[in-house]
Amino acid sequence: MQAPPEVLRLLQNLLEHAYAPYSGYPVAAVVRSSRGNLYGGVNVENAAYPLSRCAEQAAVLQMVSAGEREIAEVWVLSRGEAPATPCGGCRQVLSEFAPPWAPVHCLSTGGGELHTTLGQLLPHAFSRNHLR
């Protein structure tokens, strides 16, 4: 299953902007909002390692900063064969703004693909409903 051409182009351009001097593992992410807009992000690492940010979180920050709060679909692009899947923290951050049925497409430059949903990646997510 291919990503839409504009999404693929955006992911490929973003991957060039990833700042990953410590891990050497660039990642790009794109979220499509419920209004159909695309927001991209890359991983931005830091010499103080724990302050590094993942690509998915950078994309979510862009979307929310633009005034949107509903993720309809997620794409992730990484290098190599096995596509990166969102880390546990990113799954939680995505779940703040995406329903469990939101498709998550993980692609690699080597041609690997994993197509799943946020609910499959993070079952029984902690959410604002628990706080009521």
> In the complex, which residues of this chain contact ligand THU (CB under 6 A)?
20, 23, 25, 27, 43, 45, 52, 54-56, 76, 84, 86-87, 90
Q: How far is the CB of 58 from ligand THU (least distance, A)?
A: 8
Of the candidates 16, 45, 56, 81, the residue annotated as catalytic is 56
Q: Which is nearer to ligand THU, 35 or 120 (CB)?
A: 120
Phi and psi dihedrals of 55, rounded to 5?
A: -60, -40
Q: Which is nearer to ligand THU, 45 or 73 (CB)?
A: 45
Sheet holding 27-33, edge to edge: 38-42, 27-33, 71-78, 103-108, 113-117
Q: How far is the CB of 22 from ligand THU (least distance, A)?
A: 7
Q: How far is the CB of 28 from ligand THU (least distance, A)?
A: 8
96 is catalytic: no
Q: Are 119 and 95 in contact (CB under 8 A)?
A: no
Q: Which residues of 89-111 are buried (b: 16+ CB within 10 A; e: fewer)?
A: ebbebbbebbeeebebbbbbeee
Catalytic positions, written as ranges: 56
